């Protein structure tokens, strides 16, 4: 099935992920509640970032880890490719009939369970959630809560069928049934496979975090313990490894500690009798550490490898919230997974698994303990798709061709661009230029007219380029065509300079963040770029506002390009505060953690159902705090938040310029 069809289906069936969303909310709430109790969280995060910057791709550290592990009696195998990793692991379990396994993202990525089963070795997942997923045959939805989307009724039906007897839907009964079955397997297994949360290079120690106790039992199976891991898990010291594990626990569950943190540095042994070493006392005789590279040493972008697999980005991603594991692959879930696949040059796979579903909202970076900029990496992946001539979806192809040929994304004749301004008689030269941009010009002429009225109200007569105004390149930049985007921006800056402008004011946060991103163009032309909310906030002393109460309870929705991308959070709020007779209220997620409306980065043009579903979630956020009006400062947010409510909206959606203008009109 094509990704578009899969997305449509997932949006239609999104109720099936209600359990996942509830579980994610619980994690997020617990994390908030415990944030103060985590000792110096910000420093721990900064340190994690530093550690990853230092460790990922560090060959000396890898060599130290290998030699320390070997010194401790581990057998270390370096596997260059996924196929060689599978073959090597298969060789280690050859002739065995039963292997138990605990949770590991890398083994999911390598499809180890399936690969060994095909070779006649039964592999049993021992984590409760993973075992349920193994029996169900569906995808897991979170690295540490793989089955959290399934209801107890669904699990009861699944287990009843599996055991051939009724299993009640009481969670205790369900857990007990699986526990008893897994215990039997653990007792009979001849080898155990685990992952590693971190590896301490200096001490040659493997750190494994778990709650159920299953990982320790897999690691203690008498025969052999096979650790399947990758080089990005290596950090300099045991102390660093425990620090990584602590953040992983906190961000994946919201808890301060897991039930177990195991440190394994070699096979089980005793030397109690005459100091003679006897291996395999109560645990395995052998510990085999398989370090899988699979393209990691040659990644185009190191940043996705900083991931510690906590899944925090998934709990906040608007796309994942709607379509779940469809966004990504089983071993590479969500945007981070796709950015890693892209940087490993597995572009086709990344594209088919949703590389173009990401709205570039950037929330994942805010909630990531390692501050991984997945948005940026996704855009690099899209750029690589262009370099390798992977085709766009037909909609995105049309958008890019239209920007190239018509200077707007919708094949609108250039002559129609300036229609909104026909009665305004705007000058063509002057210091302050109003850049209306494509969406405002063609889709939201009212916002353009409002903006001009606002500027005039503070004594500014803005320059407007009319039908000569070009596209700024925002959309094509987000679709990865950085060359075309740059050419468009250069053309815009040439026009601005010729018009004698010193300041460019935009209505659209996408235009603002795009034009403002070219430091050299700004420097060479001596131009400053501002969003209208910034410009008006800078000139509040000239605004003659009379507060209004026509909008009921108002909340502000932060557009991603304005807020998270450019850090403009306060200016719109100050203007709203001045324009309203009573204070606006905040949604639970606001400011840097604001949820995306779902329209950005070409998602609305190619996956409208998904964009609308994300907007519906955002409207629900507003409803849940009792808001009657959402004010925002982006034409696309206005459109998507209105479109998703159809003809009978429960919450009005108003652009900031409209609110400000109504408060100024009152004054007059």
Distance of alpha carbon 31 from alpha carbon 408, whole angstroms:
43
Residue closer to ligand SF4 by CB (options 333, 430) is 333
Residue closer to ligand SF4 by CB (options 261, 401) is 261
Residue closer to ligand SF4 by CB (options 66, 319) is 319
CB of 358 to ligand SF4, least distance (A): 3
Residue closer to ligand SF4 by CB (options 145, 369) is 369
| Total residues interacting with ligand SF4, rule: CB under 6 A | 28
Task: Tell me the three-class secondary structure of 519-587, residue by residue.
Answer: HHHHHHHCCEEEEHHHHHHHCHHHCCCCCECCCCCEEEECCCCCCCCCCCCHHHHHHHHHHECCCCECC
- Of residues 337, 357, 259, the one with CA closest to residue 608: 357
Residue 614 touches ligand SF4, criterion: CB under 6 A: no
Tell me which DSSP letter residue 119 carries.
T
CB of 342 to ligand SF4, least distance (A): 12
Residue 358 touches ligand SF4, criterion: CB under 6 A: yes
What lies within 8 Å, CB to CB, of 605 at 6+ separation is: 395, 396, 399, 409, 475
Residue closer to ligand SF4 by CB (options 377, 530) is 377
Pairing mode of beta strands 205-210, 260-264 = antiparallel
For 235, the enclosing helix (H) or strand (E) is strand 234-235
What lies within 8 Å, CB to CB, of 157 at 6+ separation is: none
Residue closer to ligand SF4 by CB (options 560, 579) is 560
CB of 68 to ligand SF4, least distance (A): 25
Stretch of residues binding ligand SF4 (CB under 6 A), selected from 121-129, 130-138, 303-311, 484-492: 303-311
Residue closer to ligand SF4 by CB (options 32, 456) is 32
Q: Which of 68, 102, 360, 450 binds ligand SF4 (CB under 6 A)?
A: 360
Q: Which of 195, 266, 267, 369 binds ligand SF4 (CB under 6 A)?
A: 369
Stretch of residues binding ligand SF4 (CB under 6 A), selected from 26-34, 236-244, 361-369, 573-581: 361-369
CB of 314 to ligand SF4, least distance (A): 7
Residue closer to ligand SF4 by CB (options 532, 634) is 634
Q: Which of 66, 319, 527, 580 binds ligand SF4 (CB under 6 A)?
A: 319
DSSP 349-366: HHHHTTTTT-----HHHH
Binding mask 549-588 for ligand SF4 (x = CB under 6 A): ----------------------------------------
CB of 334 to ligand SF4, least distance (A): 6
Distance of alpha carbon 254 from alpha carbon 22, whole angstroms:
14
Distance of alpha carbon 306 from alpha carbon 297, whole angstroms:
13
Q: Which residue is nearest to ligand SF4 (CB)?
A: 335
Residue 661 touches ligand SF4, criterion: CB under 6 A: no
Q: Which of 58, 268, 359, 377 binds ligand SF4 (CB under 6 A)?
A: 359
Residue 510 touches ligand SF4, criterion: CB under 6 A: no
Residue 364 touches ligand SF4, criterion: CB under 6 A: yes
Instruction: Work out whether the CA dihedral 23, 25, 27, 33 comes out positive or negative.
Output: negative
Residue 353 touches ligand SF4, criterion: CB under 6 A: no
Instruction: Name the strands in the sheet holding 224-230, side by side, starting at the edge strand that comes first in the sequence.
Output: 75-79, 286-292, 224-230, 191-194, 98-101, 122-125
Distance of alpha carbon 17 from alpha carbon 448, whole angstroms:
40
Residue 246 touches ligand SF4, criterion: CB under 6 A: no
Residue 254 touches ligand SF4, criterion: CB under 6 A: no
Distance of alpha carbon 234 from alpha carbon 246, whole angstroms:
15
Residue closer to ligand SF4 by CB (options 219, 307) is 307
Instruction: Name the strands in the sheet holding 554-557, side by side, starting at the edge strand that comes first in the sequence.
Output: 554-557, 629-632, 652-655
Residue 305 touches ligand SF4, criterion: CB under 6 A: no
CB of 294 to ligand SF4, least distance (A): 17
Q: Helix, strand, coil: what percent of the chain each, to 5?
A: 50, 10, 35
Q: In 10 A of CB 166, how many CB atoms? A: 11
Residue 284 touches ligand SF4, criterion: CB under 6 A: no
CB of 546 to ligand SF4, least distance (A): 39
Distance of alpha carbon 517 from alpha carbon 263, whole angstroms:
46
Residue closer to ligand SF4 by CB (options 336, 450) is 336
Q: Are 409 and 475 in contact (CB under 8 A)?
A: yes
Residue 271 buriedness (CB in 10 A; 0-12 / 13-18 / 19+): exposed
CB of 563 to ligand SF4, least distance (A): 13
Q: Report phi then psi at 632, rounded to 5.
A: -140, 180
Instruction: Name the strands in the sheet holding 432-435, side by side, starting at the edge strand that comes first in the sequence.
Output: 432-435, 503-506, 528-531
For 200, the enclosing helix (H) or strand (E) is strand 198-200
Q: Which of 201, 291, 341, 370 binds ligand SF4 (CB under 6 A)?
A: 370
Residue 375 touches ligand SF4, criterion: CB under 6 A: yes
CB of 192 to ligand SF4, least distance (A): 25
HSE (CB half, 13 Å, CA atoms) of 558? 27
Stretch of residues binding ligand SF4 (CB under 6 A), selected from 306-314, 399-407, 623-631, 652-660: 306-314
Residue 381 touches ligand SF4, criterion: CB under 6 A: no
Residue 335 touches ligand SF4, criterion: CB under 6 A: yes
Q: Are 561 and 531 in contact (CB under 8 A)?
A: no
Residue 20 touches ligand SF4, criterion: CB under 6 A: no
Residue closer to ligand SF4 by CB (options 375, 396) is 375
Chain residues binding ligand SF4 by CB under 6 A are: 251, 307-313, 317-319, 334-336, 358-364, 368-370, 372, 374-375, 596
């Amino acid at each position: 099935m094509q990704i578009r069809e899969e997305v449509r289906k997932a949006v239609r069936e999104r109720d099936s992920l209600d359990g996942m969303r509830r579980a994610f909310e619980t994690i997020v709430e617990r994390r908030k509640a415990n944030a103060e109790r985590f000792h110096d969280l910000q420093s721990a995060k900064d340190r994690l970032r530093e550690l990853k910057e230092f460790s990922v791709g560090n060959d000396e550290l890898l060599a130290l880890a290998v030699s320390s592990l070997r010194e401790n009696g581990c057998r270390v195998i370096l596997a260059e490719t996924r196929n060689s990793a599978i073959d090597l692991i298969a060789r280690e379990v050859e002739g065995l009939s039963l292997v138990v396994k605990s949770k590991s993202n890398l083994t999911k990525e390598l499809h180890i369970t399936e690969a060994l089963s095909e070779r006649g070795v039964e592999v049993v997942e021992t984590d409760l959630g993973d075992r349920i997923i193994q029996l169900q045959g569906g995808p897991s939805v979170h690295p540490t809560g793989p089955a959290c989307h399934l209801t107890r009724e669904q699990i009861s039906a699944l287990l009843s069928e599996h055991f051939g007897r009724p299993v009640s839907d009481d969670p205790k009964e369900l857990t007990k049934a699986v526990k008893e079955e897994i215990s039997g397997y653990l007792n009979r297994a001849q080898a155990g496979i685990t992952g590693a949360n971190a590896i301490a290079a200096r001490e040659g120690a493997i750190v494994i975090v778990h709650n159920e106790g299953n990982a320790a039992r897999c690691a203690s199976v008498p025969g052999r313990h096979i650790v399947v891991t990758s080089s990005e898990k290596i950090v300099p010291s045991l102390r660093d490894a425990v620090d990584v594990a602590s953040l992983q626990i906190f961000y994946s569950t919201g808890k301060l500690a897991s039930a177990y943190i195991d440190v394994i540095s070699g096979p089980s042994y005793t030397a109690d009798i005459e100091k003679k070493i006897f291996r395999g006392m109560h645990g395995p005789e052998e510990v085999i550490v398989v370090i899988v590279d699979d393209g990691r040493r040659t990644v185009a972008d190191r940043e996705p490898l900083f991931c510690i697999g906590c899944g925090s980005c998934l709990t906040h991603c608007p796309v994942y919230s709607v379509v779940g594991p469809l966004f990504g692959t089983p071993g590479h879930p969500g945007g981070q997974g796709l950015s890693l696949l892209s940087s490993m040059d597995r572009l086709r796979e990344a594209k088919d698994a949703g590389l173009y579903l990401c709205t570039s909202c950037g929330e994942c970076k805010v909630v990531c303990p390692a501050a991984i900029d997945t948005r940026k990496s996704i855009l690099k992946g899209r750029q690589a798709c262009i370099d390798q001539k992977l085709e766009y979806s037909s909609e995105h192809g049309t958008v890019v061709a239209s920007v190239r040929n018509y200077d707007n994304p919708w094949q609108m004749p250039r002559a129609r661009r300036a229609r909104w301004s026909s009665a305004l008689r705007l000058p063509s030269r002057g210091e302050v230029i109003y850049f209306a941009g494509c969406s405002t010009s063609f889709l939201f002429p009212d916002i353009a007219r409002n903006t001009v009225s606002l500027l005039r109200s503070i004594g500014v007569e803005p320059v407007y380029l009319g039908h000569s105004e070009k596209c700024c390149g925002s959309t094509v930049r987000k679709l990865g065509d950085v060359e075309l985007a740059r050419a468009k921006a250069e053309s815009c800056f040439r026009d601005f300079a010729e018009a004698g402008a010193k300041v460019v004011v935009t209505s659209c946060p996408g235009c603002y963040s795009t034009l403002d991103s070219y430091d050299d163009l700004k420097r060479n032309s001596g131009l400053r770029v501002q969003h209208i909310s910034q410009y008006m906030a800078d000139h509040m002393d000239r605004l003659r506002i009379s507060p209004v109460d026509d909008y009921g309870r108002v909340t502000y929705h932060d557009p991603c390009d304005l807020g998270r991308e450019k850090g403009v959070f306060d200016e719109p709020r100050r203007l709203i505060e001045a324009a309203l007779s009573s204070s606006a209220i905040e949604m639970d997620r606001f400011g840097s953690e604001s949820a995306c409306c779902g329209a950005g980065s070409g998602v609305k043009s190619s996956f409208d159902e998904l964009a609308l579903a994300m907007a519906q979630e955002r409207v629900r956020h507003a409803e849940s705090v009792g808001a009657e009006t959402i004010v925002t400062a982006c034409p696309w947010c206005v459109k998507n938040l209105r479109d998703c409510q159809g003809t009978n909206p429960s919450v009005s959606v108003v652009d900031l310029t409209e609110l400000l203008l109504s408060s100024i009109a009152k004054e007059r």
